[in-house]
Structure 1
Amino acid sequence: MSKGPVTEFIEKHFKHFNSAALVDAAKGYQEQLDKGNKMLVTLAGAMSTAEIGKSFAEMIRQDKVQFISCTGANLEEDVMNLVAHSHYERVPHYRDLTAQDEWDLLERGLNRVTDTCIPEEEAFRRIQKHIVKIWKDAEAAGERYFPHEYMYKLLLSGVMEEYYEIDLKDSWMYAAAEKNLPMVVPGWEDSTMGNIFASYVMKGELKASTMKSGIEYMGFIADWYMKNTDKGVGFFQIGGGIAGDFPICVVPMLYQDMEMHDIPFWSYFCQISDSTTSYGSYSGAVPNEKITWGKLDKDTPKFVIESDATIVAPLVFAYLLGW
């Protein structure tokens, strides 16, 4: 593996505590790829708004990720950044904002995510007219697709090109669309595009069945897992929540509910999290807890990096890319 200046810096300085865990996890990830194993990556939180595409897109292009699980927010916010980047506003003093300051942002059409404001008109509405047409065309043709498949169609159709404001190489969704990378988007309904789709269903302009469901997503990933686990499938989890718990449950579901007692466990597990274990949260659960749920084997390589994913994930990807 080539070693650029970032990789060399990491190897020289990241020797202890969470920095050492980062290196161990990255090396474990690379060992999985070297064995011919597949890797599933999950995206929780607001990683797309944090512009994870600057590193993650290249991971996709270089075949260092074979499956993605992400929230509906991450699915759409990468595309929003692609078409409306110049209209975003950063609010570095966000901790000092008053309720009136927040109201003023709302009236300006700015939806705040920590220190970054997404411009509603330029982002959401710019996409809406095009994605709604794709939904309606599919329904008219009697076709049904998953949420990410509709977004792939949107990106590959070229109808959004006039709006692009960042380099396409920095869009992980475009990289995934080009490869038709398999993906699940559990809980998509609570995203902005999910809300928009629901509104069209409520108005009687679309059928709910035009969008494939979460149950179908579970069947989709189960089928993919069974076909790709001959050597092993690793699990790299950024954050927690539904983006992580939905896909990892495929193993106990196949073993316990489908009674497929020869189904392999996940072959690698890493989680980037700053959640506190004692809160009883999925995000804070240490990997060994997942053994009791039939998700990981007692011998599965397990790593936890207790830090900010917006700092850690790009560094792990940079290491794997030899930057």
Structure 2
Amino acid sequence: MNKGPVSQFILHHYRHFNAAALIDAAKGYETHLQEGGKMMVTLAGAMSTAELGLSLAEMIRQDKIAIISCTGANLEEDIMNLVAHSHYKRVPNYRDLSPQEEWDLLENHYNRVTDTCIPEEEAFRRLQQHIHKIWKDAETAGERYFPHEFMYKMLLSGVLQQYYEIDPKNSWMLAAAEKNIPIVVPGWEDSTMGNIFASYVIKNELKASTMKSGIEYMVWLSEWYRANSSGKGVGFFQIGGGIAGDFPICVVPMMYQDLEWHDVPFWSYFCQISDSTTSYGSYSGAVPNEKITWGKLDISTPKFIVESDATIVAPLIFAYLLGW
């Protein structure tokens, strides 16, 4: 593939340290795809509010991602940006805010993520009225779905089109819904929509069982992995740490060690973009070799770690893979 100006720039300038690791990881990802491998991308943190969809959506459209694991926040916040972008408030001086100024943001229905404030009415409540109907309709019909499947139903129904405030090609969730690629959303309950769903359960307006659970996600993922891990296998591209990465990577040792299915291949590529520190005992900061001891990666698995800011690194790696 011919490389565009962004790729040419990083190839020329990114020669050492984390910059070199970025290039190595991008080339490894490209080789993995060229040899017929598939890739899981995991999204932690606030990648959707960081508008990673500007590059991630095209990665999905070009079949450079086969499956995504993300937090409930990332699942919903891309759609919130799609329908409420003009109502977001940027606070570049967020480090200087006093407790009173933070309280004032709350009083004005803004929820802050670093330098970006999400508008409650236009984002949370706008989604709530539509997703609640989809939840309720499913329950009435005696149907159960995963969190991402409900989001797909809402996006594909067209009910949100009236609110679109960005070019829809920059929404990774819309791209994923249109491709119907699988998404695993561990710990969905701690998201805003998860909290809202729980509130309806507490009020006896919905049954908890209408929403498929994390255990069911793990069972489903084991089936997907077995069906897709032949040949070159499935790679693992982890953006940030946390449950978005820890949950799905464990499917391999679960099958090998707990189910004693000894024909299960290891993940065949691994890269993590992380700013977590190993010495604090964090799983997120663990260097790739530690994952060998847990039965996740093989000795020969290509392993990369870029210790840097994912909002800077991920778009550059995606740009390289897209030939930008």
TM-score by length of 2: 0.99
Does 1:191 pair with 2:197? no
Post-superposition CA distance 1:246-271 (Å, at most 9, x none): 00000000001111011100000000
Per the TM alignment, residue 106 of structure 1 is displaced from its structure 2 partner at its CA by 0.3
Counterpart CA distance in 1 for 2:54 and 2:321 is: 14
Alignment of 1:167-246 (within 5 A): 167-231=167-231, 232-246=233-247
Whole-angstrom CA distance in 2 between matches of 1:262 and 1:180: 28
Distance 2:41 2:281 in 1: 23
1:19 is displaced (CA, Å) by: 0.5
- Partner residue in 2 for 1:124: 124
Q: How does 1:286-305 map to 2 (within 5 A)?
A: 286-305=287-306
Give a deviation string over 1:186-230, Cα, whole Å, max 9, x none.
000000000000000010000000000000000111100000000
Look up the match of 1:269. 270
Separation (CA, whole Å) in 1 of partners of 2:2 and 2:142: 49
Residue aligning to 2:255: 254
Paired with 1:35 and 1:143, the residues of 2 have a C-alpha distance of 40
Q: For each residue in 1:54-89, what CA deviation from the matched residue of structure 2 results, as whole angstroms up to 9, or x when unmatched?
A: 000000000000000000000000000000000000
Following the alignment from structure 1 to structure 2, what is the Cα–Cα distance between the partners of residues 177 and 141? Answer: 22
Whichever residue aligns with residue 297 of structure 2, its letter is L
Instruction: Tell me the CA shift for residue 2 of structure 1.
Output: 1.9
2:137 paired with 1:137: yes
**C-alpha distance in structure 2 between counterparts of 1:95 and 1:282, whole Å:** 28
Q: Aligned runs of 1:38-187 on 2, under 5 Å?
A: 38-187=38-187
Mapped to 1, the partners of 2:193 and 2:296 lie a distance apart of 31
Instruction: Provide the secondary structure at the position in 2 that maps to 1:221.
Output: helix
1:310 CA displacement: 0.2
Residue 243 of structure 1 aligns with an amino acid whose one-letter code is A
Figure out how many residues of one structure are paired with residues of the other and give that number.
Answer: 323
Equivalent residue letter for 1:318: A
Distance 1:40 1:127 in 2: 27
Match of 1:24 in 2: 24
Which amino acid letter does the alignment assign opposite residue 227 of structure 2?
Answer: K
Question: How far off is 1:116 after superposition?
Answer: 0.2
CA distance in 2 between partners of 1:178 and 1:222 (Å):
24
* Counterpart code for 1:114: T
Distance 1:239 1:2 in 2: 29
Question: Following TM superposition, by how much is the alpha carbon of 1:311 offset from its aligned partner in structure 2, in angstroms?
Answer: 0.2
- Equivalent-residue separation in structure 1 for 2:302 and 2:97 (angstroms): 43
Paired with 1:274 and 1:146, the residues of 2 have a C-alpha distance of 31
Q: Give the aligned partner of residue 310 of structure 1.
A: 311
Q: CA deviation at 1:92?
A: 0.3
What letter matches 1:177 in structure 2?
A: A
- SS of alignment partner, residue 143 of structure 1: coil
1:251 partner letter: V
Alignment correspondent of 1:279: 280
List gaps (5 residues or longer) in structure 2.
none
| C-alpha distance in structure 1 between counterparts of 2:54 and 2:208, whole Å | 34
Structure 1 unpaired stretches of 5+: none
Q: Distance in 2 between matches of 1:220 and 1:48?
A: 24
TM-score by length of 1: 1.00
Deviations 1:105-141 (A, max 9, x none): 0000000000000000100001111000000000011
- Cα RMSD over matched residues? 0.4
Q: Tell me the secondary structure at the aligned position of residue 51 of structure 1.
A: coil
Q: Write the distance in 2 (CA, Å) between the matches of 1:25 and 1:136.
A: 44
